[in-house]
Every structure is written in C-alpha cells, then in structure tokens.
Structure 1
Amino acid sequence: MDGIAGRHAMVTGGGTGIGLEIAAALTAAGARVTVLGRREGPLQAATAAGKAAGFEVADVTAEGAVAAAIARAGTPAILVNAAGAAESAPFLRTDDALWDRMLRVNLLGAVSATRAALPGMLAGGWGRVVNIASTAAMRGYPYVSAYVASKHAVLGLTRALALEVAAKGITVNAVCPGFTETDIVAESVARIVSKTGRSEAEARAELAKHNPQGRLVQPEEVAAAVLFLCSDGASAVNGRALAVDGGEVP
C-alpha cells in the first residue's frame, strides 16, 4: 500500500488481539513490523507466524524500557499504540490503584512510546501515529469510569499532538472501536456470566447490542482503518477519531 511498503512500523500490544491483527495487516502491506509487549511468548509466536519481522519485550508503563526497545529496533516511521487494558468497577469502588493502572497503560503507555518515536519521525520528515482508543473515548459507559476517562485522555492527546506536528509531515489519529472480538471482550463476557448468571450467548448479546449492526466488531476491521490512516491517501487526515462501531457513536 502506498506510504506503508518499506516503512518500519512498531505496534505496541502487538502480540494479541487488535494489535496482532494490525501487525499482520501492516506486514501484508509491505511494512517491516516490530511488535512490542510484556509477554515474550505471544510476540515470538507472531514473529514465527510471519505477522511481524521482529519483536521487543517491554512494558509500556516503563518509559525507559520502551525508549530502549525503540532504540534497539530502530525508530519507526509508523507507530500504532495498541497496548491497553480495561477494568470495571462502580465509581465508588474504583480506588486510586485502579485509576492509576488505567491511566498508566492506556494514556501514559501511548505517551511513552510516542515520546520515544517522535524525534526520529521529525528528523525524517514523515510519520504516522495511530492511537487505538475506543468508543469510550467518544461517549460514556457505566461502571468503567477510569477506563472511559483514560480513553478520553488518549483522544485529547491525539488532537493536541496532531496540531503540534501538522506542518512536519506527521499525522496523529485515533481509531475508536466499539466492542470488538478480543480477549478483553471475552473477559467481559465471563464477568457478566459470573455476576448475573446469564449464559455466554446472552452476555455476548448484551455487548453486541451497543452496535446498531447487532454484532461485535472484528479485529481485522479495526486493522483496515489503521491501514488507511497510515497510507498516503490519508495524508490530510489529522487529529481525527475514526469510529469503527457500526454506527454506535453519532
């Protein structure tokens, strides 16, 4: 794909779920992809399967580790911040530790990786930063106040940084999936089943009903949106939130 082939791309959270699908799509489009994550096993598997050219083990919440990983792998021209986490609790039972975890992974993880990658993009006069946010960056959901706040912050970061680099050949955008067929959603289904006694099918239907299409989004649909934003055809798309949600967010 124009603008992607031959570029070095890094995908955080690239060993599983949406991140893995994005890595595979970028590889298929001709990029040299490095996947980054905390667990070596999934990263090795992704590389062995040809979905990435290499991997780096690092926790995105440890800024020094991310910077060192990028130094080893080489500065990416394309950075996809797909590492993330979701935890739920009623607001009055959401303690400071939960708030800290959501902000460190979802917001500061993206900050750390972008801070390490951006100087090389500026020096090269070209770059793409894509933050995987969520429809939770564009609306509210009950019982996940810390998660929603962290994803709103990711979108704020996207919009602010996009303006800083707008005239430097770099774009910064966010992809905002609705409920997507991933391990995180599988964990949500399990929680619904355990807490409510509903069947797995009923729990999945509860999540799918948010999507006007009546289904869960597929990871490859999110990856397709990322590919577009990384392409030359999206050079004028900057500071935007691209919802992949079947029409859930107006």
Structure 2
Amino acid sequence: MTKIAIITGGLSGMGLATARRLHAEGITVCIGARRGDDPAAVAALHAALGAPVMVAALDVRSTDSVNAFVASVVAAHGPVDILINTAGVYEESAVIDHPDAMWDATIDTNLTGTFKMIRAVMPAMKARGWGRIVNLASVAAHQGMANNAAYCASKAGLLGLGRCVSLEGAAYGVTCVSISPTWVETEMLKQFIDQEIADTGAERAVVRAKYEASNPQGALVQPAEIAGLIAFLVSDAGRAITMEDIQVNAGSLW
C-alpha cells in the first residue's frame, strides 16, 4: 500500500528535495511549514514537484498546531508511516548576553518541535508495526562552533532524543535515525553567502570557494544527496538502521 509521509519544513532546501524524491517514488507526501498557508509558496512547491501535494500551515513549536496538522493528514490520507523532521532555524550569538528569545526560538523549533511531531505520529506507527522517523541534525551536533550555542545544543539534543525514540520503537518496527550534514547548498547557505558579500564586498566566487574548501572533497553537499539517503532510510531496506546518526560530512570535522 502507498506509504504516507509528513515532511516538516518541506518548502525549501533539504525538505523540498526530500519531498521531490519521495513523491517520485510513489509515496504520498504531506508538507507542513509556517508558510504552508501562503498561496505563492504552495504554488511554487507544486511547480517544483510537478504535481499537487498536501500542504498546510504548521508551527512545530505549538502542540495545538502539531496535533491539528497531523489530524488533517490522517483525515485526508490515513495514518502516517514516515516522518521527516527538517524544519529548523539558525541564528548566531555569543553565550555572553545571548538573547533569551533567540535561545527559546532555536530550541523550541529544532528540538522541541521535532519531539512534538514524533509524539504525535508514533502511537499509530507502533500500533501498525511499521514506521520511519528521520531527524535532520547537523555536524554541529558533534562539533562546537563559537557564537552558535543554541544551534549546537538543539542539534545535539536531537541525537539523545533519537536514541530514546529508537529504543521505544524497536520492538514495533519503528526506526529513528538522524542525519548530520556539513554545509549543504540550500537557501539558508545562499543567504549566508549573500550576507558575507554584503559585509565584506568579496566576490561571490571567493566566498563560495571558502565554504567549498571547508571539507576535503572541496564541494558542497547537495540537497538531492541528502534526499537520496533519506529515501533509503525510510524504505523497507532501512529496517535495521536505527538509533544511528549518519554524518554526511564530506570528510570534514569542522
């Protein structure tokens, strides 16, 4: 039977690439995003996929929003088989004088939001004896970065969360895996490049080359590469891969 997948934050970047890949493989894709009720964003998504899929507003920080979104997916398509948590935010600040609002927004979105999504879909997965959960972590879950306490803490927290989910789901055919990429050529990275160009006046090729040189392969990871890995992990072939964090680091330790 056709599998039902939820992708959070699926309007861009690795979430969009994953939506494209899973849709191509015949999986029913349902996307939840903060801009999920923006007609322009939805139209752009459908154009990118070449087909209409379910898209709705979702704020993973809100229990009510999470529960309402999952309920709408179940009502429209049936129980959720696959959950891909790619929704995330990134802001920088030193620990000293770190704003509470920035810390709360990062932890609530990247970590707590992932927890709330898992909590909402896992009971039905256990009841049916099959489920796949993939959390998008980061190399920052393993390596510290100055001025990134909130982001690093949120991504490291996903590893601990995933271990617990894996243990609770193992006897019921439910797996939980995290993926920790290095720099991926997403809209977020392009914004970083644009900001550095604006701040320094450096040429785009020079700034991009700096990011490329941050790993021994000398090339940025592409969203489609992450999507390909996710497609394998959520397949039947990924049954025995759980409680694992897969670093897609291109040889980089940051």
Scaled to the shorter chain, the TM-score interval is over 0.9
Secondary structure of the equivalent of 1:34? strand
User: What are the superposed Cα offsets for residues 50-107 of structure 1, whole Å, 9 maximum, x if unpaired?
Assistant: 3662112111111211110110111310000010111112232422111111101100
Conserved 8 A contact 1:179-1:217: yes
Conserved 8 A contact 1:16-1:42: no
**Aligned partner of 1:178 among 178, 182, 186:** 182
Tell me how far apart the structure 2 counterparts of residues 201 and 141 of structure 1 sit (CA, whole Å).
24
Specify the alignment match of 1:69 in structure 2.
69
Per the TM alignment, residue 169 of structure 1 is displaced from its structure 2 partner at its CA by 0.4
**Aligned partner of 2:123 among 119, 137, 141:** 119
Secondary structure of the equivalent of 2:170? coil
User: What are the superposed Cα offsets for residues 106-141 of structure 1, whole Å, 9 maximum, x if unpaired?
Assistant: 001111111111111111110000001111112122
One-letter identity of the residue aligned with 1:58: L
One-letter identity of the residue aligned with 1:226: I
Specify the alignment match of 1:226 in structure 2.
230
**RMSD across aligned positions (CA):** 1.7
5+ residue gaps, structure 2: none
User: What are the superposed Cα offsets for residues 16-45 of structure 1, whole Å, 9 maximum, x if unpaired?
Assistant: 111010011011111001011011332343
TM-score normalised by the chain length of structure 2: 0.91
Specify the alignment match of 1:46 in structure 2.
45
Conserved 8 A contact 1:177-1:243: yes
Specify the alignment match of 2:19 in structure 1.
23
One-letter identity of the residue aligned with 1:121: M
Per the TM alignment, residue 164 of structure 1 is displaced from its structure 2 partner at its CA by 1.5
Per the TM alignment, residue 198 of structure 1 is displaced from its structure 2 partner at its CA by 2.8
Tell me how far apart the structure 1 counterparts of residues 158 and 6 of structure 2 sit (CA, whole Å).
18
Distance 1:78 1:52, change over 3 A: farther
**Aligned partner of 2:152 among 148, 166, 170:** 148
One-letter identity of the residue aligned with 1:185: L
Conserved 8 A contact 1:10-1:80: yes
User: What are the superposed Cα offsets for residues 140-189 of structure 1, whole Å, 9 maximum, x if unpaired?
Assistant: 22221211111001111111211111111000000111101111111211
Identity value in percent: 37
**Aligned partner of 1:190 among 186, 194, 200:** 194
One-letter identity of the residue aligned with 1:43: V
**Number of paired residues?**
246
**Aligned partner of 1:13 among 2, 9, 13:** 9
Per the TM alignment, residue 47 of structure 1 is displaced from its structure 2 partner at its CA by 3.3
Per the TM alignment, residue 200 of structure 1 is displaced from its structure 2 partner at its CA by 2.3
Distance 1:207 1:52, change over 3 A: farther
Conserved 8 A contact 1:36-1:43: no
User: Relative to structure 2, which stretch is displaced further, 202-211 or 105-114?
Assistant: 202-211
Secondary structure of the equivalent of 2:171? coil
Distance 1:136 1:71, change over 3 A: same
User: Relative to structure 2, which stretch is displaced further, 158-167 or 200-209?
Assistant: 200-209
Conserved 8 A contact 1:162-1:171: yes
5+ residue gaps, structure 1: none
One-letter identity of the residue aligned with 1:110: T
